[in-house]
């Protein structure tokens, strides 16, 4: 049985995210590769957040929330959203990707990819909390990619 995997050709797991993807730089999403999608997957969802923001911001900072990614997609290109996918609101107050922007020190950013046995009926601009609530009971696979970024 294949295991869901999320990778990036731009950075290795646990290594530094290139500056281009930062909020104050180009602010485009890094390219991502998806492998091992479970057979009965109806859609994929991706959450990028920053748990290290808890100290300076008082919360986990949400950078990208996206769902209804086709299970046929094996690559999310740099600076793009897969056709048919829906984006939610990030903690910058925007819909879509908001890159790393640590205010204090190096932070670790978490990209979580979920394989779901359903297509989600969430409206564009929904929050991470709304997505997680709607995904509950529908997750059939999960993969994590970590990257670091310093001011």
For 58-95, letters b (16+ CB in 10 Å) and e give eeebbbbbbbbbbbebeebebeebbeebbbbbbbbeee
Find the radius of gyration of the CA atoms of the chain: 14
pTM of the model: 0.96
Class of domain 5-149: alpha beta
CA distance 37 to 124: 24
Count of Cβ atoms closer than 10 Å to residue 104 Cβ: 12
Model pLDDT for residues 99-121, shown as the tens digit of each residue: 999 999 999 999 999 999 999 99
- How do the domains of the chain map onto residue ranges? 5-149
Contact between 22 and 15 (Cβ < 8 Å): no
Q: Give the residue, 1 or 45, on which the prediction is more confident.
A: 45
Mean pLDDT (the chain) is: 97
Model pLDDT for residues 54-104, shown as the tens digit of each residue: 999 999 999 999 999 999 999 999 999 999 999 999 999 999 999 999 999
């Amino acid at each position: 049985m294949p295991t869901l995997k999320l990778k990036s050709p731009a950075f290795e797991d646990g290594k530094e995210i290139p500056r281009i993807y930062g909020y104050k730089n180009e602010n485009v999403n890094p390219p991502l590769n998806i492998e091992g999608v479970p057979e009965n997957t109806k859609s994929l969802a991706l959450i990028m957040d920053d748990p290290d923001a808890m100290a300076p911001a008082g919360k986990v900072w949400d950078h990208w929330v996206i769902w209804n990614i086709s299970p046929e997609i094996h690559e999310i290109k740099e600076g793009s959203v897969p056709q048919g996918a829906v984006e939610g609101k990030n903690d910058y107050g925007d819909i879509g990707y908001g890159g790393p922007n640590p205010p204090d020190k190096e932070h670790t950013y978490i990209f979580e990819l979920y394989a779901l046995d359903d297509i989600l009926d969430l409206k564009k601009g929904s929050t991470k909390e709304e997505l997680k609530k709607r995904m509950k009971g529908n997750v059939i696979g999960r993969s994590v990619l970590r990257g670091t970024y310093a001011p």
